Amino acid sequence: MNSSIFEKFTLERNLVYISVAAILIVFGLIFYLFFGQLTKSIQILAPNGGEEWEIGQTYEIIWEAKGLEKVGIEYPWQVVVKLYFSARDL
């Protein structure tokens, strides 16, 4: 077997693998930059359920936001009062 032909074939084959890998990496980065940033989510960390809060006390609501610059929480006081009286009647 001619060694120069074998070396040329091996070199070309490795370049093909490198080219495919490079294309996949670039495509993955482009996909992340354009679509990864579009994913917006918010996860409530605390309270996480089961807490018993006393009326008149102040409690922290802790969350983790991804892809959001500002987060606002609005909760009508009528709903809180309704939930309190519903739970009290149990």
Supply the mean pLDDT for the chain: 71
Single pTM value for the model: 0.39
The answer, yes or no, to whether residue 4 has pLDDT greater than 60, is no
Residue owning tokens 């670039």 = 26
The answer, yes or no, to whether residue 5 has pLDDT greater than 70, is no
pLDDT more than 90, % of the chain: 0
Domain residue extents for the chain: 1-39, 40-90
Which residues make Cβ contacts (< 8 Å) with residue 45, sequence separation at least 6?
62, 63, 64
- pLDDT of 28-48, one tens digit each? 777 777 766 667 788 888 888
- pLDDT of 68-86, one tens digit each? 777 777 766 666 666 666 6
